[in-house]
Structure 1
Amino acid sequence: MTQSPEPTSPPATPTSTDVARLAGVSRATVSYVLNAQAAGRVSTRTQDRVRAAAEELGYVPHAAARTLRAGHSGLVLLTTPATPIPRIGALFGDFLMELQGALHQLGYTSVWHGPVAGAGEQAARAWAELRPAAVLALPGTGLTPSAVELLKRSGTRAVLTLGMQPVAGAHALLLDQEMLGARAGTHLLERGRRRIGVVMPTESGLDLFSVPRLAGVRAAATLETGTHVEPLTLDCTEESAAELAARWPRLGLDSLFAYNDEYAMLVMRAFQDAGLAIPGDLAIVGADDLLLARLLRPRLTSVHFDTIPTARIVGLVDRAIREPETAPETHQLTRVVVAARDSG
């Protein structure tokens, strides 16, 4: 009768003491190096030796211990909206990726928190369970003043919003969608266009962006006499774009702000297939200034946010964490620029 092999004990978890012994340094030196606090304290050669020892042993710093030393978790929680980031806009998605990288450079750990059922305090309770040092709430995640207060009572040192409107009690990083729409409208008006269609995507969640963009176009149009602005609902399908192209001559419009470059490319192809000349029969303006916008023929005119450097934004986040008693501040992150090309 064969005997079952004796269960083996799991290997001992390496500690910072083990790393210090292998590298020939003190535990304090290990802590400085592995917690991104070695600048000006530990030579580059010693830092390399500590990292090599940690890698050889498979040592990973303990997040809870780091929290005790720093007084906060070092976790920056990014609340994910219900609408996928790529559908909001490629430029916005790229900006968020850069933001995560810059936070990492300062020693913070950024994590995405998936959509939460409910909003306000209900969502804030789910976020607070992770005890983040900061919460950066994206558009559409339901942050409210009472949710901000709950997060702060739970130990979150900084609450920031990234969106169109500030929320009481939180620092606000503003991306003015109405300004973007106004700039698109002004550009078309300056080129003699007076009857402007505005694409309103039917995709769930995009009304957070499309509604203020429409308001911006309308605000620009009020400055000129004899103007007309008409919202045009559009599915993100070739069939919907073809239907719009078929009825375009009956609409009596001379230009189109197409929400973003992706929708602009969709309708441009449909209009050209229908025999409409761009910009002869209509001018088209997109948004985000994607590379593909420059490769189209005619090249697509596009509006984009000229965002302030990501390092400066992360500096604001870092200061808000280090100085939690600072009164909420509002920062305009962008200026709006038109890349004028051939389509309008």
Structure 2
Amino acid sequence: MWSAMSETTSTAPTSADVARLAGVSRATVSYVLNDTAGGRVSEKTRLRVRAAADQLGYVPHAAARSLRAGHTGLVLMAAPEITFGPLFNEFFAELRAGLRDHGYTAVLYGTRGDLSGREIARAWAELRPTAVITGVTDDLTPEGVEILRRSGTRAVLSLAERPVPGAHSLLLDQSAVGATAGEHLVARGHRAIGVVMPTDATLRRFSEPRLAGVRQAAAGARVEPLALDYTESSAAELAARWRSLGLTGLFCYNDEYAALIQAAFQDAGIAVPTDAALVGADDLMLARVLRPRLTSVHVSLPEGIALADLIDRLIREPDTPPETYRIGDATITVRDSS
């Protein structure tokens, strides 16, 4: 059986095969299939080369392309193994498209909580990424930056609340999200404010700074953290004890938790905003379609295309000293729920 299969297996087509079929040089095939032809190849020739490649089933070899370019072209975004929401998904889609326009391939890499910073950096380095973005994770250390640099990574960026020595830093102040929500609720006269704290441990890097921001903005008011699972039963339990808590306003962590809570409150006969003023965060489409419409903190993430341009520049200029960029301004979008 095995010998019969091997006799019918053909070798993979090469760029030389494509060149012969299209009647062009291998260099022309490389120009066309790697999108580096510029004005050197006519449209007619380009179409002929692509038709030949399709006919033969030829796919360029990524490793060979990496050898020519001097790097893999892989941009790795490291992220904790959590379910991301629409805001991050939209951001990553834009970033991926922008990087693709520059000739890079963007991939998400789920980090593991049982690894040390050194071990995580070594795991990233094994893939020989051209650039690493430690998005929404705090696993990057100065030693990790050095490990990546020594393995050939040209640009290391940290998307976090504090700079990481040796890395380019995109500073996202999560406490400002909570402060913006707290300022709004205080301005509306609330002096007893609840703050939803998701029980998912991977969200603590967001929820704890947001709680601190509410406390700072609502100094002198009562601020009470409320642990909540992202389940209907947990939201129903909160609704059942809401009146006994003596709270009047609630910062719901984000719009998705706010929608869960608003539905539970409505089922329990708790009027929004009369009995409970709700504020979400991320300002998703969801906030606009809820009834009553949800007041939400709008967070301005960097445009994916602009970040892709920055990454491309840092890759092409790997000796650029670490730079710091402040991103993510928080503003309140006031609607009916507060």
Q: CA RMSD in A?
A: 1.9
- Aligned partner of 1:64 in structure 2 is 63
Are residue 260 (structure 1) and residue 254 (structure 2) matched? yes
SS state of the match for residue 330, structure 2? strand
d(CA) in 1 for partners of 2:175, 2:134? 20
- Aligned partner of 1:126 in structure 2 is 123
- Aligned partner of 1:34 in structure 2 is 33
Deviation at 1:6, TM superposition (A): 8.3
Deviation at 1:144, TM superposition (A): 0.9
- Aligned partner of 2:145 in structure 1 is 148
With over 3 angstroms needed to count, the CA separation of the structure-2 counterparts of 1:17 and 1:148, relative to structure 1, is same
- Aligned partner of 1:295 in structure 2 is 289
d(CA) in 1 for partners of 2:155, 2:19? 34
Specify the code of the residue in structure 2 equivalent to 1:316: L
Deviation at 1:188, TM superposition (A): 1.6
Deviation at 1:316, TM superposition (A): 0.9
Question: What count of residue pairs does the alignment treat as equivalent?
Answer: 335
Pick which of 121-130 and 90-99 moved more. 90-99
Pick which of 326-335 and 279-288 moved more. 326-335
- Aligned partner of 1:333 in structure 2 is 327
SS state of the match for residue 297, structure 1? coil
8 Å CA contact 1:139, 1:164 repeated in 2: no
d(CA) in 2 for partners of 1:61, 1:257? 51
SS state of the match for residue 75, structure 2? strand
Q: In percent, how many aligned pairs have the same letter?
A: 61
d(CA) in 1 for partners of 2:183, 2:5? 78
Deviation at 1:145, TM superposition (A): 0.9
- Aligned partner of 1:24 in structure 2 is 23
In the alignment, structure 1 segments of 5+ residues that lack a partner are none
Question: 1:229-268, aligned counterparts within 5 Å?
Answer: 229-268=223-262
Q: Deviations over 1:31-87 (max 9, x none)?
A: 222223233443444333322222221111112221121111111122231323x2x
Q: Deviations over 1:161-191 (max 9, x none)?
A: 2233221111122332111111111222222
TM-score (norm 2): 0.93
Deviation at 1:106, TM superposition (A): 1.4
Match of 1:197 among 184, 190, 194: 194
Deviation at 1:150, TM superposition (A): 0.7
- Aligned partner of 1:52 in structure 2 is 51
Match of 2:104 among 80, 105, 108: 108
- Aligned partner of 2:298 in structure 1 is 304
8 Å CA contact 1:90, 1:288 repeated in 2: no
With over 3 angstroms needed to count, the CA separation of the structure-2 counterparts of 1:177 and 1:6, relative to structure 1, is closer
With over 3 angstroms needed to count, the CA separation of the structure-2 counterparts of 1:221 and 1:16, relative to structure 1, is same
With over 3 angstroms needed to count, the CA separation of the structure-2 counterparts of 1:49 and 1:332, relative to structure 1, is farther
d(CA) in 1 for partners of 2:49, 2:259? 52
With over 3 angstroms needed to count, the CA separation of the structure-2 counterparts of 1:312 and 1:5, relative to structure 1, is closer
Deviation at 1:120, TM superposition (A): 0.9
d(CA) in 1 for partners of 2:36, 2:322? 28
- Aligned partner of 1:78 in structure 2 is 77
SS state of the match for residue 208, structure 2? helix
With over 3 angstroms needed to count, the CA separation of the structure-2 counterparts of 1:121 and 1:194, relative to structure 1, is same
SS state of the match for residue 305, structure 1? strand
- Aligned partner of 1:282 in structure 2 is 276
SS state of the match for residue 197, structure 2? strand
Specify the code of the residue in structure 1 equivalent to 2:169: A
Deviation at 1:7, TM superposition (A): 4.5
With over 3 angstroms needed to count, the CA separation of the structure-2 counterparts of 1:285 and 1:7, relative to structure 1, is closer
8 Å CA contact 2:95, 2:303 repeated in 1: no
Deviation at 1:239, TM superposition (A): 2.1
Pick which of 226-235 and 143-152 moved more. 226-235
- Aligned partner of 1:342 in structure 2 is 336
Specify the code of the residue in structure 2 equivalent to 1:293: A
Match of 1:95 among 62, 80, 91: 91
TM-score (norm 1): 0.91
8 Å CA contact 1:140, 1:205 repeated in 2: no
